[in-house]
Amino acid sequence: MIERYYVRPETVDRIRSSWIANAVEKYASWLTELHYSFRSIARRIPIVVSFGDFAQKRGATKWEDLPAHVEPFVECWLRERAKGRRTNDERVKIAQCVRNPIRQMLRLAIPNYVGLTRLKKPENPFAQCAPCFFEYLRSEKGLREATIKQYTYHLRFLASYFDRIRLKNMRNLTPVVLSNFITEYGQRVGWPNLRNACGTLRVFLRYLYREHVMSKDISHTVEFPQSFRLSGIPRSITWDQVRHVLESVDRRSTSGKRDYAILLLLVTYGLRAHEVSRLTLDDIDWRNQRLRIPERKASHSTAYPLSTVVGEAILEYLKNGRPQTQDRLIFFRCVAPCKPICSAAIVARACHYLKKAGINVPRPGSHTLRHTCVQRLVDADFPLKVIGDYVGHRSPSSTQIYSKVAIEALRQVALGDGEEVL
């Protein structure tokens, strides 16, 4: 494997003479499998070889001795090779470029090596007083994993708040404390998150009372923030703006081929970001020209006719953009490591192209194109039930928000005198 990246035989011999040569070979193979670039691999291997020599001079004789020498090696590297880098940000960046290859190699060579990666937080921040709460959510309430993650998210903020005010015993919890938390939390998150947090608190407090952790049920004191039905306005854009977004994609590049197909899926079928990220090769029936979206938010699947434009864009990406992999998922990262793209990345790419096209819209992202798809169907006078089934709405009330605003008519009023419209 080493011969692929170095031409001179003496370079290959020097690498293989290192006492960690087996780990270096394994590391090079791992980088190759993850589609790291030739230049990146050729730059990383000398770093790990130099680290092995450095650790050996300091008395390292076995694999378990190596982690203790990582930070001293990084400091030595900065002293010798980063003298001209004066700013702290430059030195931190160089240190990361040196430290990361070493950590990657040690994870392959040493079982259970973690390094200085971020510690994984426990799922249940209240494991001491309510150890079976998340089991209750799964078995008795039957919640989906995505919903349970939201419970974890909100309860972590609650636990952090309790630590800050030094509330140790849940029996001392009062409605005043809950009110102060909700007031403080509401300044950090938007209305939808605050509403979900209140729902999480009510379920959690009822569970604590049922398990006799609390002597009184105070869940009813947590009031949902006041909302008005259909108060929101769709975040849709015009079809001309959609064309500008699609034209802003450089389809000559690998990422451009991928992003163009993703944007077409979002605006043509009104898909959610996680639905696009989970698409597999098995979901496209090329013979019958069908696109299947399994496991939607409403726990059902939808089959669409495969649009010619969308099919051609996906096919172009599969032929000339998608990396060679055994994974059945369609969309992948364009840089190493070669992994499937996540829903957050799809939101970020949609936001990038909306801003690149100069389109100002509240909270730009993938849902902007989803709203545009729905609004276009509303303007075409499709029934709301048909539209809701098309985009996978759980309830008809989710679709009604699009029917209250005559977008095109209001644009005509804004641009002209509006007499013909009125």
pLDDT at 2 (0 to 100):
77
**Which run of H or of E encompasses 352?**
helix 343-356
Q: Say what percent of the chain tops pLDDT 70.
A: 91
Residue of 44, 167, 151 whose CA lies nearest to 96:
44
pLDDT of residue 298: 66
Nearest to 345 by CA among 324, 369, 319, 366: 366
Which candidate, 373, 369, 375, places its Cα nearest to that of 351?
Answer: 369
- Which residue from 203, 224, 226, 205 is spatially nearest to 214, judged by alpha carbons? 205
Write the CB contacts of 364 (distance below 8 Å, at least 6 apart in sequence): 350, 351, 354, 355
What is the C-alpha to C-alpha distance for residues 39 and 362, in angstroms, rounded to an integer? Answer: 41
- 239-415 has the same fold as 133-221: no
Residue (of 105, 124, 122) closest to 113 by Cα position: 105
Which two tokens mark 168? Answer: 């140790």
Calpha distance 83→91 (Å, rounded): 9
CATH code of the domain occupying 239-415:
1.10.443.10
Q: Helix, strand or coil for residue 205? A: helix
State how far the Cα of 382 lies from the Cα of 367, in Å rounded to an integer: 20
Question: May I ask the CATH architecture of the domain 133-221?
Answer: Orthogonal Bundle (1.10)
pLDDT value for 411: 64
Ramachandran bin of 331, using left for φ above 0, alpha for ψ from -120 to 50, beta for the remaining angles: beta
72-78: average pLDDT = 90
Instruction: Please give the structure tokens belonging to residue 174.
Output: 């009062």
**Per-residue pLDDT tens for 219-254?**
999 988 876 665 666 678 889 999 999 999 999 999
Note the pLDDT of residue 378: 84
Amino acid at 93: K
Burial class (CB in 10 A: 0-12, 13-18, 19+), 156: middle
pLDDT at res. 232: 64
More confident of the two residues 8 and 265: 265
Spatial CA neighbour of 152 closest among 138, 172, 169: 138
Structure-block tokens of residue 76: 């030595």
Angle separating helix axes 38-57 and 9-16, nearest 10 degrees:
50
The span from the CA of 322 to the CA of 261, in Å, is: 12
User: φ and ψ at 245, to 5 degrees?
Assistant: -65, -45
Amino acid at the residue 144 = R
Give 382-422 pLDDT, tens digit per residue. 888 888 888 888 777 777 776 666 556 666 666 766 555 44
Choice between 225 and 277, residue whose per-residue pLDDT is larger: 277
Catalytic residues: 272, 297, 367, 370, 393, 402
Least confident range from 78-92, 159-173, 316-330: namely: 78-92
The residue assigned the tokens 């589609």 is 35
* Tally of CB atoms within 10 A around 361: 16
Read off the tokens for 241: 């703006």
189 vs 28: CA distance, rounded Å: 44
Q: Which two tokens stand for residue 263?
A: 């944007």
Q: Indicate the DSSP class of residue 342.
A: P
State the DSSP string of 268-335: HH---HHHHHT-BGGGEETTTTEEEE-S-TTS--EEEE--HHHHHHHHHHHHHTS---S--BS-B-SS
Tell me the average pLDDT across 163-183: 91
pLDDT of residue 292 exceeding 70, the answer is yes
Q: Which whole number is the average pLDDT over 279-294? A: 93
In angstroms, the CA 2 to CA 39 distance is: 13
Mapped onto helix, strand or coil, the DSSP state of residue 396 is coil
Q: Where are the domains of the chain?
A: 2-109, 133-221, 239-415
Whether residue 364 has a cis bond before it, omega within 30° of 0: no
Q: Let me know: does 151 contact 200? Beta carbons within 8 Å.
A: yes
CB atoms within 10 A of CB 315: 13
